[in-house]
Amino acid sequence: MLFSYYQETHLEEWINSKYQSSGLLDAEQHDIERIAEAFDIELVYAACPSFSDNEDRVIFLNKYTDDAMARVIFFHELCHVLRHAGDQRVMPSLFKHAQEAEADQFVLYAAVPFYMFVKLPIPDQRSEAIPYIAEAFHIPLALAEQRLDQIQRRVLQGSLIAAAQEAERKQPEPEVKWSLETQRILSQLEKQLSDKE
């Protein structure tokens, strides 16, 4: 796969910049305790539903949730702490929906950062690639599949854009062929304009 065609979104660039400036450079360093510490967020495991508090910069994770799902929840809540304000229990539903949509996108980028992904020897076969990504990033298979699909779509989109730009660049300027009547009118217009000068 030609990853050079991949274009990061602004949100993805923001996440990657934060990770890299915090020294999170590869999949081995990509554990949630280290990420929480890098962003100065308290991570609490308790026997309660998972949630976050933006103002106090704390994420509560249910201690009985399996590791892969806990990571998904952590990244979702991390988005709320880092990028959102307000109490969703009292905000308008459209605003809450927008925050949740951004948090869902954030999970894809934060759970499988592209700059880490490209360093890995991802198998060519989809049936092998999905479990490999899931294991490398400690995420559920469904999330690994969703991120792989997203990366492949972005690479395809980038390659199509590049091919279209190259084809446009190589295409010669079209020669304008005016009809005799158009040429006559243009000549008459040119003559009238030069007479006025």
Token readout for 47 is 């026997």
Residue 148: other Cβ atoms inside 10 A? 20
pLDDT at 87 (0 to 100):
62
Write down the pLDDT at residue 116. Answer: 95
Q: Looking at 37-144, which runs of residues are DSSP E strands?
A: 42-46, 51-53, 58-62
pLDDT in the model for residue 124? 92
Q: At what angle do helices 10-21 and 93-111 cross, to 10 degrees?
A: 50
Please report the pLDDT score of residue 85 as a whole number: 63
Q: How far apart are the first and last CA of the chain?
A: 63
DSSP summary character for residue 29: G
Asked if residue 171 lies in contact with residue 20, where contact means CB atoms within 8 angstroms, the answer is: no
pTM: 0.78
Give mean pLDDT in consecutive 10-residue pieces for the chain, a chain of 197 residues: 84 91 90 91 91 87 93 93 69 74 91 95 95 97 97 92 86 78 87 73
**pLDDT at residue number 133:** 97
Rg over alpha carbons for the chain, rounded to the nearest Å, is 26
Q: Report the relative pairing of strands 58-62 and 51-53 from DSSP bridges.
A: antiparallel
Picking from 142, 136, 141, 78, the residue whose alpha carbon sits closest to that of residue 110 is 78
